[in-house]
Amino acid sequence: MDPDSLSSRVQGVTPSLTLAVTNQAKALRAQGDEVYGLAGGEPEMDTPDHIKAAAIKALQDGKTKYTPAAGIPELREGIAKKLREDNGLTYDPKQICVTSGGKQACMNAIMAMCDEGDEVIIPAPYWVSYPEMVRLCGAEPVIVETSEENGWKMTAEQFEEAMTPKTKMVIINSPGNPTGAVYTEEELRAIGEVASYEDIMILSDEIYEKLIYGDHKHVSIASISEELKSLTVICHGFAKAYSMTGWRIGYTAAPPEMAAAISKIQSHTTSNATTFAQYGAHAALSGSQDFVEDMRSEYDVRRQFVHARLSAIPNISVQNPGGAFYFFVNCEPLGLKSQNLCDKLLTRYKVAAVPGIAFGHDSSLRLSYCTTLDVLNEGITRFEEFCRAH
């Protein structure tokens, strides 16, 4: 088959560098090398037992058939309750759509809003899939460069400068991947004022909401005003807070018209998310939340450990993240492009990290601290040796 015969949309999409790094690390391990994996984007802790038990019971009870495309009623009601109690947001369960992971939630939201030629503003560094999702929907990503000095956050002024008559949506990810940046209520309010003035939809990716540290506080932009709520689609999921990455359960909460459009898209693509996994997700919300706080506390310890170690390394700079479980390390003084840097780090020092170019910043890399302290200690030691050698 001639590759040029593929659709122009898919030809314009780049492969995932995060998956490429994972595959390289696996290949080295298969050769017998010990690799210190600091590239992962998932908690290493197992899913809590009560969540697994709920899915097992659902299987034993014959919950193996189709559900409504937007999800089982009790899970949609549970999500609406969570949004009300945690975020001060009131949604009818009909405004909730349960998706096959947080990725599908984002993709559905973009597809529901964007036509050919529309523009979507994305602050960089960004999660790797945002621009590719926009392109797959026929729209054009408009990248806004943020700075380490400003905490890797887009300002309202930058947002306004990037807008054109074609701007249809802006994507906000707080806490963010790869930087761990957390937008304050004041920052979100200023961005929201620009969006509401121009009637621009907001995709608010809040998947890392529960992983937040220190004095930082998660604020959903939809909670600031009814006007902003009417312009916002929240994309969320169970992967990070409940260590349920492989379960593939996410959700959207959106204004009624958009919620109906998202459900329509899902009914003609994947239909419902896996039935018994939905029952596990319902147990995650309705059961004890001790696991979430225990994991957050443990990651806070690791965050402080890694920050202290990285801060002592010459020729790099790093912000202490307010959320998620990543450090975005500025390696510009080393004089290497991020792909070359990460290749050398992996092949010579056996440390897996994700090159910053994957996130739109080619002089940085992303290190994850969702692994054990032993792996972190040795991985950072080797990274320090690499930096001193360059």
pLDDT at 31: 87
Higher pLDDT, 192 or 13: 192
**141 and 277 housed in the same domain:** yes
**17 and 35 housed in the same domain:** yes
**361 and 324 housed in the same domain:** yes
**273 and 335 housed in the same domain:** no
pLDDT at 9: 78
User: What whole-number distance in Å separates Cα of residue 366 and Cα of residue 359?
Assistant: 9
Q: Helices (H), strands (E): how many in the chain?
A: 14, 13
Residue-number span of the structural domain to which 188 is assigned: 65-286
**278 and 368 housed in the same domain:** no
- Which neighbouring-strand residues pair with 349? none
58 domain-assigned: no
Crossing angle between the packed helical segments 256-267 and 102-113, to the nearest 10 degrees: 110
Q: Which amino acid is at 135?
A: R
Mean pLDDT across 240-267: 98
Instruction: Spell out the long-range contacts of 284-287 with Cβ–Cβ below 8 A and sequence spacing 24 or more.
Output: 284/48, 284/51, 284/238, 284/242, 284/244, 285/75, 285/78, 285/79, 285/81, 285/82, 286/78, 287/48, 287/50, 287/51, 287/54
- 93 touches 77 (CB < 8 A): yes
Mean pLDDT across 263-275: 97
**145 and 214 housed in the same domain:** yes
Tell me the CB-side half-sphere exposure of residue 68, using CA atoms within 13 A.
15
55 domain-assigned: no
- Number of folded domains that form the chain: 2
Share of the chain above pLDDT 70, in %: 99
Mean pLDDT across 275-303: 98
Nearest C-alpha neighbor of 323 from the set 182, 123, 185:
182
**pLDDT mean across residues, the chain:** 95
Of 230, 260, 286, the one marking the end of a domain is 286
- The CATH number that applies at residue 349 is 3.90.1150.10
pLDDT above 80 for 21: no
87 domain-assigned: yes
**209 and 70 housed in the same domain:** yes
**163 and 216 housed in the same domain:** yes
Share of the chain above pLDDT 90, in %: 89
Nearest C-alpha neighbor of 233 from the set 260, 193, 210, 266:
260
